[in-house]
């Protein structure tokens, strides 16, 4: 008989690629993870992982078991949801991880809506960049992730997750008031090829959007300054340190003194935001109202 908790460990090792990282995510010791993997191999009668200089990878048998693991764990999530529904599930805590602008745009409004429509549900919010919330969700540190599409992100049909699209927003060009394109109605990105740039750090999904947009315009941006705080990005642009692309919602409430904000000429780079839960949990009586409230907040 295969124990479900060992399947959680197998998936964590597959996700994180090292026993040490998987152990940290699961709040276990590396030796405990190794012991559970060994027990799982004994239960299945197959070698499931191979250790190398670059970490751990699954054997072909391990990959087969992982494909079933995703289905089994999703079904367990559904079982928990139905049991919670049986017990009414009208009160409890749901933990949501979201990036700062997502908190402002949809999470905080959803919290206000839930206070009226489902007062028994308490939201606990965790600030996490768009690429950090999905690993937190898969590691069961949070119940809902508000995330951004990015290179390397789990796709919408990932068997571990259920996606709910929330909103998409364009990036606008931010240039100093004295910039040669400050008077333009729209800013062609190719015209900024020789400028110094200000942008998020690599790893931040918005960094990927900026770099890809510039690549499509025919150049690699020369990133002179880096910050994941768009207020800091705008302040640096106001100080004539460079130019930037900033999500439109991140400009709301930001001091724009010293800069000019213009739409991008042509197809604007876009940030696509979605909510995600572990597959099978989408109908949990605590999580469903949260997803509905997030969707309503996004539509309004």
Nearest residue to 234 via CA among 171, 290, 285, 140: 171
- The residues facing 262 across adjacent strands are 173
Given this model, what pLDDT does residue 141 score?
A: 94
Q: Could you say which DSSP state residue 190 is in?
A: G
Backbone angles phi, psi at 4, to 5 degrees: -60, -35
Residue 39 sits at the vertex; the CA angle it makes with 33 and 40, to the nearest 5 degrees, is 90
User: HEC profile for 143-173?
Assistant: CEEEEECCCCCCCCCCCCEEEEEEEEEEEEE
Report the phi/psi class of residue 189: left, alpha or beta, with left for phi > 0 and alpha for psi in -120 to 50: alpha
The pLDDT value recorded for residue 85 is: 63
| The pLDDT of residue 33 | 87
- pLDDT reported for residue 88: 61
pLDDT on residue 227:
95
Residue 282's pLDDT is 92
Q: Quick check: helix, strand or coil at residue 50?
A: strand
Distance CA 180, CA 191 (A): 10
**Residue 125, pLDDT score:** 97
Give the torsion through C-alpha atoms of 56, 57, 61, 64, to 10 deg.
120
Tokens of 203: 């790893």
The reported pLDDT for the residue numbered 178 is 95
| DSSP letters for 251-282 | GTT---TTEEEEEBSSS--EEEEEEEEETT-T
| pLDDT for residue 90 | 66
pLDDT at 203 (0 to 100): 82
Would you state the pLDDT for residue 109? 96
Q: Which of 290, 296, 267, 298 is nearest to 123 (CA)?
A: 290
Q: Which pLDDT tens digits describe the chain residue by residue (300 residues)?
A: 778 888 888 898 888 988 888 888 888 898 888 888 888 888 888 888 888 777 888 889 888 888 888 888 888 888 877 777 656 656 788 999 999 889 999 999 999 999 999 888 889 999 998 778 999 999 999 999 999 987 778 888 899 999 999 999 999 999 999 999 999 999 999 999 999 999 999 888 899 899 999 999 999 999 999 999 999 999 999 999 999 999 999 998 899 999 999 999 988 899 999 999 999 999 898 999 999 999 999 998
């Amino acid at each position: 008989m295969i124990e479900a908790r060992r399947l959680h460990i197998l998936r964590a090792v597959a996700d994180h690629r090292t026993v040490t990282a998987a152990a940290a995510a699961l709040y276990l010791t590396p030796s405990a993870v190794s012991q559970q993997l060994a027990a799982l191999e004994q239960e299945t009668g197959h070698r499931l992982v191979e250790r190398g200089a670059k970490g751990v990878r699954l054997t072909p048998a391990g990959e087969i078991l992982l494909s079933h693991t995703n289905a089994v764990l999703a079904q367990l999530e559904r079982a928990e949801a139905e049991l919670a529904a049986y017990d009414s599930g009208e009160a409890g805590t749901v933990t949501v991880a979201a990036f700062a602008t997502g908190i402002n745009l949809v999470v905080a409004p959803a919290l206000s809506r839930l206070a009226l429509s489902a007062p028994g549900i308490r939201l606990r919010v965790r600030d996490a960049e768009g690429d950090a919330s999905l690993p937190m969700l898969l590691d069961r540190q949070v119940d809902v992730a508000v995330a951004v599409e990015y290179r390397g992100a789990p796709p919408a049909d990932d068997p571990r997750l259920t996606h709910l699209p929330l909103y998409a927003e364009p990036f606008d060009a931010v240039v100093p008031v004295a910039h040669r394109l400050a008077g333009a109605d729209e800013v062609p990105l190719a015209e900024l090829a020789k400028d110094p740039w200000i942008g998020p750090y690599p790893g931040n999904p918005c960094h990927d959007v900026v770099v890809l947009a510039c690549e499509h315009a025919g150049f690699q941006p020369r990133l002179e300054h880096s910050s994941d705080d768009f207020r800091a990005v705008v302040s640096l642009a106001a100080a004539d340190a460079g130019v930037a692309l900033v999500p439109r919602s991140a400009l709301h409430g930001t001091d724009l003194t010293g800069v000019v904000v213009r739409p991008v000429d042509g197809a604007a780079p876009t940030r696509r935001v979605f909510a995600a839960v572990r597959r099978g949990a989408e109908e949990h009586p605590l999580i469903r109202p949260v997803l509905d409230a997030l969707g309503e907040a996004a539509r309004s």
